[in-house]
A and B are shown apart, each in its own frame.
Chain A
């Protein structure tokens, strides 16, 4: 067990001209020992920064503590020798792709144990136990690169369990994790807390599913200058407010026989590494319709979008407008198909927000339409004052909004969206869905959306396809 106390902490990322704007200003609080605490706050408020300071990664890897301190069991973090920190505190990162140093799951676990000087004879037992605990023994020999986002987060948790860290920090760990995997991870964390008395601190802006698990709710405000523990009453209210509308009984239609197929698959097979993700005899996606694609983590939803964008090889046939995608020239294909990547950074080509928007306007299919409406869209999305900002310094949610907007501006006939709504707070989500609806209708676009987050989508999507047991299937229910 360990108590984390934050005393008058101020933190800054110094700018080039020597200024030190405060990201966190004079924060004080105590995260109770053995508790399950949730830290929330709007995107860009500094949740990740605080987590990294507690884990000891900052200021080693960036920024500057300008005042105050963070203590673990009364000892200042910077005074704890790095070699002992692994036993005390471990962290799971926001981006599942970038938290491993080795190539396979088993080697990563062994690497962590070697670093802790665990005797070699004990290692296998600890690796086995950690993998069993998270129920991922079958991933043991898999290449980390070939795992899905959710699987990677499970591996990251297994590493933390193997390291037997007292305090477990998780920084928005569920952004690319499906609801089933998310429930499993939360249940495992609760078990760790109750049976092994670990202290758990999660940061998230999305509060769904947490009410059964957490003991304390902390709120960091937008400016990063106030960190408060909510009373049980206030916490309950905030959590209830976040309960999503029940999507289970919303009905959509099935495709009509008059619908024009635009993307057609015949005997399509998709593989990742040695495993087959999809074996599909027939499926069509229809012109001028918005189709939602759901399925558990690692089932191959993103891979299907990549295949349609010619960024992943496939076997069988995949046609766009009766033309085989694998045989189309890339430039010709990308005039008709655009993909909104899961990772917003991959979309950006320029440095500042306004440069990004200018490029899209210049090459748009309907520049006049967007020139007229852009100022309104920017205001609605709260991006109007960020025009001079470097895109890579935006917060996760701001990046997502900019990314979706600049790809909508292109007005490509087919738009594929891979988890476009991650990291968006509630009001941004509603705004972006409204804009998408308007734009795609006015420009007669065809959309395929992969999303775990279903809230508000009933008004946007026409059809719903699920991916289970390597098959795609149209269903009537939304959930």
Chain B
């Protein structure tokens, strides 16, 4: 499915279930999300994380509702399933799309200015470098007898300095490789929105409405 439409769909679904309280729909969405996640063949560790990380806020919310308010079991169940629906639907969208594809689709289909698209991509590619830079800064501190804790301002001063430097270099690198803000570009990989993308998009939303109304009227 087209990456931009896929993300829009995920956001719309999340928005809609925020205002409804049908736990069966939440559960259904979570199961569909899980199936899509499984189809992308995630590692066992990632799958375990996907189950356990949402468990903490989901349980905390449910327990709080049960103990502290008189909204009842139904509402606790709704909140519990809603968190899993959010996480699984969101992960279904992210795990089946590469960042590059998403950025290219946002640029070509959603018409986001190319400056933002490539700036975002450049920053994303810098993430692993920032993590290793922080390790290097702390090591450099230790080697000089200066312990930099995770709360040391000096650590952040250095990290911010490095980031500023990188962002300027990134801008210069893009310029020297011919990138100009707002100028027309060609695309090696065309990302199109096909009729079936629209069909999946509209069909999924329609099904969601039917499920919500059906269960509501019952």
Contacts and interface: CB of A to CB of B under 8 A. Distances in A.
Nearest to A57: B172
Interface in A107-131: 107-108, 110-120, 123
Most chain A beta-carbon neighbours within 10 Å: one of B132, B135, B162, B179: B179
Contacts of B140: 341, 346-349
Interface in B113-142: 118, 121-122, 125, 128-129, 132-133, 135-142
Nearest to B185: A114
B129 A145 contact: yes
A454 B178 CA distance: 38
Contact of A349 (B118, B129, B144, B185): B144
B177 A159 contact: yes
Interface in B138-183: 138-147, 154, 158, 161-162, 165-166, 168-180, 183
B187 interface: yes
Nearest to A60: B175
Contacts of A406: 144
Contacts of A359: 144-146
B18 interface: no
Given A98-B170, A103-B100, A360 B144 contact: yes
B117 to A, nearest CB: 11
Interface stretch (A38-46, A83-91, A195-203, A207-215): A83-91
Contact of A120 (B176, B183, B190): B190
B161 to A, nearest CB: 7
Given A83-B183, A86-B178, A102 B169 contact: no
A101 B169 CA distance: 9
Contacts of B166: 98
Given A82-B183, A120-B188, A145-B129, A115 B178 contact: yes
Nearest to B118: A101
A326 interface: no
Contacts of B128: 145
B132 to A, nearest CB: 8
Interface stretch (A12-20, A330-338, A458-466, A471-479): A330-338
B43 interface: no
B190 A115 contact: no
A85 B179 CA distance: 10
B160 to A, nearest CB: 13
Contacts of A348: 140
A392 interface: yes
Contacts of B154: 349
B144 A57 contact: no
A219 interface: no
Interface string A65-91: 000000000000000001101100011
B190 to A, nearest CB: 7
Given A86-B177, A111-B177, A163-B178, A120 B170 contact: no
Interface string B176-206: 1111100111111110000000000000000
Given A107-B100, A311-B136, A346-B137, A112 B177 contact: yes
Interface of B: 100, 118, 121-122, 125, 128-129, 132-133, 135-147, 154, 158, 161-162, 165-166, 168-180, 183-190
Given A116-B178, A159-B177, A410-B143, 15 more contacts: A93-B176, A98-B166, A101-B174, A101-B179, A102-B121, A111-B177, A114-B185, A114-B186, A115-B180, A118-B186, A331-B147, A341-B140, A349-B140, A349-B154, A359-B144
Sort A-B residue pairs by CB-CB distance and give the 9 closest, nearest first: A363-B145, A86-B178, A115-B178, A98-B169, A334-B142, A338-B143, A112-B177, A82-B180, A99-B173
Interface of A: 55-57, 60-61, 82-83, 85-86, 90-91, 93, 95, 98-103, 107-108, 110-120, 123, 145, 159, 163, 309-311, 330-331, 334-335, 337-339, 341, 345-349, 359-360, 362-363, 392, 406-407, 410, 412
